[in-house]
A and B are shown apart, each in its own frame.
Chain A
Amino acid sequence: MPPIIETSNLRKIFPLPKRYKDLILHPFLKKETIALEDINILIDGGEIFGLLGPNGSGKTTLIKILSTLILPTSGKAFINGLDVTSHEEKIKKMIGYVVSDERSFFWRLTGRQNLRFFASLNNIPPSKIDSTIQELIRLIGLEKEIDNVFQNYSSGNKQKMAIIRGLLTNPRILFLDEPTRSLDPVVTHNLRSFIKEVLVEQTGKTVLIATNNMQEAEDLCSRVAIIQNGKIKKCDTIKEIKNIFVGKKRYVLMLKSSLEEIQARVDHSYLKNKVVNLGHGVSENKFIFLTVEIDMKNESISEIIEWLVTTGIKIESCIHQELPLSEIFKRCINA
């Protein structure tokens, strides 16, 4: 089966407006910014693929190119084998796009009037429009507010409207640009399980989700591309990304002794370059916390415990600490 979404050497360079001074002094000098550079991704059907990157890294630009709203500067992008620059109409029938911009609704209309309008533009048969809308507002949870004027909605409810609109056509492919922005934790959790269980596992949709929320990527995505300054730094499953970048395990040991004593002992031992952090706990002043990182293959924590015991330092507890994704993200980006 061919991939549902494919890009090859996709580049986007935006022209930038010139200042008056430059218009006069350098009329032919081009000012531009590189938003995407040589993006190559393959996304299979039924996959939740994450675009993970800091602000201004090019996530929205990539999604807009795939939704035919921005033309790439060079390179190719295909949706279901169709080139996005030449099969606009066919592609628009396959995709749903959840924008991160709340300006995209008519603010003086009610939520329901807005949805009816966009449903008609999406060629949903008039007899099905109301039932489709009703079902989605029940699923997303907007029944109470749906007949209020859009401009009075809270940010979270505006965001819910964007999600409902993206789902109106029951599209095969969904582009979600920061879908849980401004949603509360409960709604966020519900939406994530809705995306994962209903949209993908039950109905087999393909989802491309742009986010700068690590937890979201970890909860949802089968694979992620970490993107920065328009370049893909890493593209793999989260587990693989963790392994490649880490290859190390972290432990936090809670010790009972004075900080100075431990510091002195550690400084003169083989442990010295394995220590990530040593100090008092934030709330637990009685104990000293020692964070160490060891090689996953060649070393084990028991050696360290043994050494501590032989030097007479009391160990209260020892826990394995998962390297947080944010840490991995930081390392990817600084690599």
Chain B
Amino acid sequence: MKFLNGASMPDIIRNLKKPFVFLHKDIINESSYKFAFVTQLLGIFFSVVSLYFLSKLVGKAALPHIQPYGGDYLSFLLIGLALFGYIQVALNSFSNCIRNAQTLGTLEAMLVTQTSIPTIIFSSSLYSFAITSFRIIVYLLFGALAFGLNVRSANYMGAIIILFITIICCSSIGILSASFIMVLKKGDPLSWIFKSLSWLLSGVYYPVSILPDWLQKLSYFIPVTHSLEGMRMALLNGYPMRDLFSSILPLSVSTIILLPLSMFSFKYAVRIAKINGSLTQY
């Protein structure tokens, strides 16, 4: 049986295994830095504890801007931070992987194997996604136990769809910035701008409605705004699919534009690196 690009069934099964080969390698690699590995785990604990004190400060105070999200600020914040955790990984991990492989000198050695470049970059970012997922699960569990994050009536299916599209959308931007890194090695402007704007405008810490009018208009053009909005509506208000559509649509449109663009630009960046002979340079 032949599939896309003439790949056969065993080829596809092998490619499904490769992300785990990378994950295994990265776990061995990262856990060999014992001190950093432990502090990373401790870091999760500390940020959760600081959330706890924040919850003591804010408590159940009624904030008018939070009303559309069920009225509980901590739940609002927790969902925002959790999703933004994924967004950050999607934005950074691809260029970090490329940069790492360049400095280690392993990029060329991987590129000469029978594994395609998309598989390599996707697989090498899996570890970051796994660690982030672990962190976020701890956050959410803690939220549920310590200050009653209430997601019992949530639309989980909707939340998962939004998470999925968000990751693909932000990964596209992440891959675009990885293309810069591939050629320039250091100093990609894209993910920095996108991340800073998102922190400011998309409503991680506060709802967009608190921003001045013109900034609110601007925030509409940042896909992350729709992710956060949709995610909160799905988890905190349990909106049905039909009501999540207004968030999913702009998110999907930006993904449809960004994904092919990022794939194209990455291919082009590899080409330039092969012309410059700079795969092993950093």
A and B physically associate: yes
Residues of A within 8 A of B (CB): 12, 14-15, 35, 61, 64, 67-71, 73, 89, 92-93, 95, 97, 99, 101, 103-109, 113, 117-118, 120-123, 126, 149, 165, 169
B112 touches A67 (CB 8 A): yes
List, sorted by A's number, 14 A–B pairs whose CB atoms are closer than 8 Å.
A69-B108, A70-B274, A73-B275, A92-B113, A103-B104, A103-B280, A107-B104, A108-B33, A109-B25, A117-B25, A120-B17, A121-B110, A122-B113, A122-B114
Q: Is the pair A70, B29 in contact by a Cβ cutoff of 8 Å?
A: no
Least CB distance, B94 to chain A, in whole angstroms? 18
Bound together, the chains give a CA A68 to CA B141 distance in angstroms of 49
Find chain B residues with CB under 8 A from A97 CB.
112
A121 touches B115 (CB 8 A): yes
Other-chain residue from A93, A95, A99, A120 in contact with B109 (beta carbon distance below 8 A): A99
Residues of B contacting A15 with CB < 8 Å? 275-276
Does B204 have its Cβ within 8 Å of any Cβ on chain A? no
Residues of A within 8 A of B275 (CB): 15, 70-71, 73
Cβ A69 vs Cβ B21 within 8 A:
no
A73 to chain B: closest residue by CB: B275
Contact between chains at B18 and A68 (CB < 8 Å): no
Quote the shortest CB–CB distance from B210 to chain A (angstroms): 45
A73 to B277 CA separation, bound complex (whole angstroms)? 11
A104, B108: Cβ atoms under 8 Å? yes
Interface centre among B18, B25, B271, B280 (most CB of A within 10 A): B25
Tell me the smallest distance from the CB of B122 to a CB of chain A, in Å.
13
B268-282 CB contacts (< 8 Å) to partner A = 271, 274-277, 279-280
Task: Contact check, B105 vs A118: say whether CB atoms are below 8 A apart.
Answer: no
For residue B14, CB closer than 8 A to chain A, the reply is yes
Of B5, B11, B32, most buried by chain A (CB within 10 Å of CB) is: B32
| Contact surface of B with A, Cβ cutoff 8 Å | 5, 11, 14, 17-18, 21, 25, 28-29, 32-33, 104-106, 108-116, 120, 271, 274-277, 279-280
**Cα A120 to Cα B108 with chains together (Å):** 16
Known: A70-B275, A73-B275, A106-B29. 4 other contacts (CB 8 A): A92-B113, A106-B106, A108-B32, A113-B28
Report the Cα distance A92→B119, complex, angstroms: 15
- How distant is the Cα of A15 from the Cα of B278 in the complex, in angstroms? 10
CA distance A61 to B276 in the complex (A): 11
Beta-carbon contact of A105 and B109 below 8 Å: yes
Q: Which residue of A lies closest to B25 (CB)?
A: A117
Assess the B105–A69 pair: CB atoms within 8 A. Answer: no
Give Cα A70 to B277, complex, Å: 5
Chain A neighbourhood of B28, CB < 8 A: 108-109, 113
Q: What's the minimum C-beta distance from B82 to chain A, rounded to whole angstroms?
A: 31
Contact between chains at A69 and B112 (CB < 8 Å): yes
State the CA gap A69–B33 with chains docked (Å): 31
Interchain CA distance A274-B11 in the complex, whole Å: 68
3 closest cross-chain pairs (CB), A and B = A103-B105, A104-B109, A121-B113
Contact A69–B279 (Cβ < 8 Å): yes
Distance of A6 Cα from B111 Cα, bound (Å): 22
